[in-house]
Amino acid sequence: MKTFSDLTSYNKYLNLAEPLHPLMDSRVCKQAIPNFPKTSDEIQVNLFKISLKKNFSGDINYGNDKYYTENGLMLFSEPGQVVSWDSLTFWDGYAFVFHPDLIKQNPIAAKINQYKYFSYEINDALFMTAEEEETITWLFTKIHMELLENKAKANINLILSLINVVLSYADVFYERQFKDKATKTVSVASKVKSLLQNHYSDFSKPVISIPTVSTIAADLNLSSNYLTDLMRAETGKSTSHYIQQFIIEQAEILMHQTDLNISDVAYRLGFSNVPYFSRFFKKIKGISPTEVRNQRIV
C-alpha cells in the first residue's frame, strides 16, 4: 500500500500541481477532481483534510438511511486514513489539506484532538443547512484566496485562525445534526437495543463473543465515535455504557431464572474468560455474580 506523508508526493499521485505552500494546500474541487486517477487501490494519507462538498443534489447514503439533500456537506480526515476508489463523483467546493507540522506550534494542535469528527467515516458527513453552507463557503474562500495570492508567503496565523473558526462552527453544526437526526429518524438507541436483542436472542447456546461499540457501529454503518456522539446526544450516555448495562441485565436474567452456574452464564453471554466476566460484572453492579446468584428467590 502506498503511503503519502507530504503534500508534494500526494499531489503528484492525484495529478495535481505543486501545493500552494509546503505545508498546506487548497483546492477547488471542480478543477481538481477531473485530474484524479479514475481508480485507486488503497493508499494511506498521513495528512489532515477538511472538505466542503457543495452544489449537488441526489440521494446520499448515510448510515443505514438515505437522505436527499441539495445543500453542502463537510468531511474531515486525520493522518493515517486509508482510502480507495473505483469511480469518481464530481463535486464543487473546496478541499484544504495540511501537514501535521503546520499546527505543531499553534494552539489549534491541542484542540484538534477534541474534534472527534476527524475520526468519523465517510458515512458520518456533516450535512449543512443553506445558511451553514454559506458561512463555511465564505471561510473556505478566504483561506483559498490567501493561499492562492501569497503561496509560500501566506499568513499562517491568519489561515489557522480561519480554520479554527471552521472547526468551531462544525462542532456546533454537528450538535444540530445530532438533534435533528434524533427527532426525524428512528431512535439510534432503539437501533442499538434491537441489535443487542438479536445478539442475545437465543440462550440455548453460547454466543460467539460479547458485542462491542465497534461491532455495533459496523452493523449500523457508522463510525464508533459518531455512534457514541449520537447516543450521548440522545440518551446522555455512551454506547459502551449502554452495551454494558444491557449485558448485565442479561446476566441477571440468567442467574435469576436458570440454574446455570456462573461459568455457564459467562460463556452464554460471549465471555471466554470467566474471571474477566466476574470483574466486569462487579465493576458495573458493585457486587459479584455469586452474590447476585445467592440473592435469588427460590
DSSP characters over 27-50: EEHHHHGGGS-S-EEEEEE-SEEE
Q: Is the pLDDT of residue 185 over 60?
A: no
pLDDT at residue 96, as a whole number: 97
pLDDT, tens only, 219-235? 988 888 889 988 888 88
Structure confidence at residue 279 (pLDDT): 93
What are the tens digits of pLDDT across the range 202-211?
Answer: 878 788 889 9
**More confident of the two residues 155 and 260:** 155
> Cα–Cα–Cα angle for 160, 173, 97, nearest 5°?
35
Average pLDDT over residues 92-100: 94
Helix H or strand E segment including 166? helix 156-184
Q: pLDDT tens digits, residue range 19-72?
A: 999 999 999 988 898 899 988 998 999 999 999 988 654 444 333 444 445 678
Q: Which of 43, 47, 33, 49 is nearest to 2 (CA)?
A: 43
Prediction pTM value: 0.65
DSSP 14-26: TT-PPPSBTTEEE
